[in-house]
Amino acid sequence: MKAAGKNCALKIIPLGGLNEIGMNMMVYQYDHEIIIVDCGLMFPSPDMLGIDYVIPDIAWLRERREQILAICLTHGHEDHIGALPFVLQELDVPVYGTALTLGLVGSKLEEYKLKGKVELVVVKPRDTVALGSFQVEFLRVAHSVVDGCALAITTPEGVVIHTGDFKIDNTPVDGQLTDLASLARYGEAGVLALLSDSTNVEREGYTLSEKTVGDAFAEIFPNCPGRIIVAAFSSSIHRVQQVADAAVACGRKILLNGRSMVKNVQIARDLGYLTIPDSALLGLKEFPYLPPEQVCIISTGSQGEPMSALTRIAMDDHKQIKLEKGDTVILSSRVIPGNERTISELVNHLYRRGAQVFHERVSEVHVSGHASQEELKLMINTVKPRFFIPIHGEYRHLHKHVELAMKVGIPEERCILAVNGDAVYFYGDTGAIVEQVETGRVFVDGKGIGDVGSVVLKDLKHLSEDGMVVIIIGINHSSGAVISGPDIVSRGFVFEDESREYLEETRNVVVAALEEINAEMRCDNEVVESLVRQALRRFFKKTVARRPVILPVILEM
């Protein structure tokens, strides 16, 4: 590419979401103007001890903050909006999105005391926003969350279609179809590049319609003798609507369980995206007095997260909700890779309580929100792009999507397989990866801006500043009894010989926390580790205002 072209080329730079699942963040730059598409997080893997979230490193953006015109959002899932509370503490820019997307964003900003400090601009599908050299049209797409949009970004070098997460559902719950007509309109006029969702590229055929799940609920609910508990992601508003419809049709009242579920359902009802009558909702005070066959609980915790609402129910540790023989539990969500063992254990605990369990492996109680191969082909054929860039996926997904694009006629030299940090330049009739920009991951433990400002693993910072505390506990994994410990070992935190009384207090905090849960929960290492960390974080913050790395070591005996 000519040097003159580099100065005025359209640049597309992924800072997250390519070569990984989650943490989606794409930068579009022309001359000295920048827009950002999505700003997501990734949840930590089990080996990221003490980490709450993983977000993109914005060092490259920080140096160009005066050039950033806006952040445009495709939809309201955490992997597309979750990093906003952290990034918006450093970048003072407006955020554009549809009503529900910004409703979910506003709730997050309120939690981080940013509500009112950020300009949130609501757009409707087919609205066009002028942002410097860019014209951005929001085009409706079907997905597992309401109000999802693809973006048609008109630039001086041509039009780029950024699909976000999508599928082509011909029978969506809300009747809102993927806007193939507008996509075809752009395709006929000429599209420079298509950036398309690669999540389900390994699946052949078509993704099932969301209405399939509603049909499954309608079949299962009338045959359930006891309470019904449906676990789903709190942002899956269509799923919640279908659960509510099935429950009402069977004469059941609905109890919302889990903070994010209560919050997101309230937002969706206020905005008119959920139609659940007040008379159908049940409060915790009324809950004990209704017969089991008249109750349906919609809960969070479908991934078996330690200390989540559903896990507590499964462990018989929830204060208000106790499973009984004859109850039915439906896990209405996909298994996030890496959570297979956790969910398997959750299902085992549910069966121990006498519940009947349905999940995606045995019933159609969940369908994906992402396009499978035939829909991905249809997107490419509709848009007819000159260049193709796969997004949203691990490297194998991106590679497979390139192969798929080539099968439907995109020449290999016009398929650009980029990963995070690759700067793709478009100038004239050319498109190529020209340079690498600084990118990476930031590990967040808490809400402070310092969590974002450093690319050093937060555990290392804690070790250097506040030291480490190791808690060794021996637990009989048949009875749940604590056989040895807790023994406390600290390094760089307090001088043990001079702080015996304080370490004894620490030990008592752990003992008290373990006594609060039942024997079955003490048999689950993840639950015990999470409980010990939470209890000691609170104790250390209150007593010495320090945050050491806390490492529970559970010995199975």
Quote the CA–CA distance of 93 and 204 in Å, as a whole number.
40
Could you identify the residue written with the tokens 């014209």? 135
Q: Is 370 a catalytic residue?
A: yes
Q: Which amino acid is at 280?
A: A
The catalytic position among 57, 147, 169, 197 is 197
Q: Give the pLDDT score at 1.
A: 47
CB of 302 closer than 8 Å to CB of 237: no
For the chain, helix (H) and strand (E) counts, in that order, are 18, 24
Burial class (CB in 10 A: 0-12, 13-18, 19+), 544: middle
Evaluate whether 529 touches 313 at the Cβ level (below 8 Å): no
Within 8 A by CB and 6+ apart from 378, the residues are 168, 180
Residues 75 and 147 sit within 8 Å (Cβ to Cβ): yes
Name which of 96, 98, 95, 99 is nearest 117 in CA terms.
95
Cα–Cα distances (Å) from 286 to 281, 322, 513, in that order, read 10, 15, 30
CB 42 within 8 A of CB 23: yes
DSSP state, residue 44: P
* pLDDT value, residue 405: 97
398 and 198 in contact (C-beta within 8 Å)? Answer: yes
Distance CA 294, CA 433 (A): 59
Cβ 77 vs Cβ 264: under 8 Å: no
**pLDDT for 126:** 97
47 catalytic? Reply is no
* Beta-carbon contacts of residue 197 (< 8 Å; ≥ 6 apart): 163, 164, 165, 166, 370, 371, 376, 391, 392, 393
Q: What is the pLDDT of residue 339?
A: 67
Report the distance separating Cα 459 and Cα 457, nearest Å.
5
- For the chain, domains (ranges, CATH) are 3-205+368-444 (3.60.15.10), 211-358 (3.40.50.10710), 467-556 (3.10.20.580)
What span, in angstroms and rounded, lies between the C-alpha atoms of 141 and 167? Answer: 7
Dihedral sign for Cα 374, 376, 378, 381, please. Answer: negative
pTM: 0.81
DSSP at 212: H
Question: Taken in order 170, 174, 178, 179, is the CA torsion positive or negative?
Answer: positive
| Dihedral (CA of 398, 403, 406, 412) sign | positive
Give CA separation, 472 vs 171, 526, 552, in Å.
54, 14, 6
Q: Residue 230's CB: how many other CB atoms inside 10 A?
A: 30
Sort strands 191-197 and 158-162 into parallel, antiparallel or unpaired.
parallel
- Whether 498 contacts 489, CB under 8 Å: no
Which helix (H) or strand (E) segment holds residue 3: the answer is helix 3-8
How many Å apart are CA 549 and CA 38, to the nearest integer? Answer: 32
Q: How many CA atoms lie within 13 A of 540 on its CB side?
A: 22
- Note the pLDDT of residue 27: 98
DSSP 217-276: HHHHGGG--S-EEEE--TT-HHHHHHHHHHHHHTT-EEEEESHHHHHHHHHHHHTTS---
Cα dihedral sign, 204-205-210-216: negative
Residue 219 has a pLDDT of 94
pLDDT at 48: 62
For 495, the token pair is 């001088």
Instruction: Determine the angle formed by the axes of helices 373-383 and 180-189, rounding to 10 degrees.
Output: 40
Provide the residue count of the chain: 557
N- to C-terminal Cα distance for the chain? 65
Give the pLDDT score at 506.
Answer: 87
DSSP structure class, residue 118: S
What are the tokens at 378?
Answer: 């249809």
Q: How does pLDDT run along the chain (557 residues), one tens digit per residue?
A: 444 345 589 999 999 999 998 899 999 999 999 999 999 998 776 556 556 788 999 999 999 999 999 999 999 999 999 999 999 999 999 999 999 999 999 999 998 889 889 999 999 999 999 999 999 999 999 999 999 999 999 999 999 999 999 999 999 988 899 999 999 999 999 999 999 999 999 999 999 999 999 999 999 999 999 999 999 989 999 999 999 999 999 999 999 998 899 999 999 999 999 999 999 999 888 888 899 999 999 998 887 777 788 888 888 888 888 888 999 999 998 776 666 778 888 889 999 989 999 987 767 889 999 999 999 999 999 999 999 999 999 999 999 999 999 999 999 999 999 999 999 999 988 999 999 998 988 878 654 444 433 444 455 555 556 677 888 888 888 788 888 888 888 777 665 555 678 888 888 899 998 888 888 888 888 888 888 888 888 888 888 777 787 888 888 76
Catalytic residue among 77, 143, 370, 392: 370
Burial state string for 499-513 with b = 16 or more CB within 10 A and e = fewer than 16? eeebbeebeebbeeb
The DSSP output letter for 280 is G
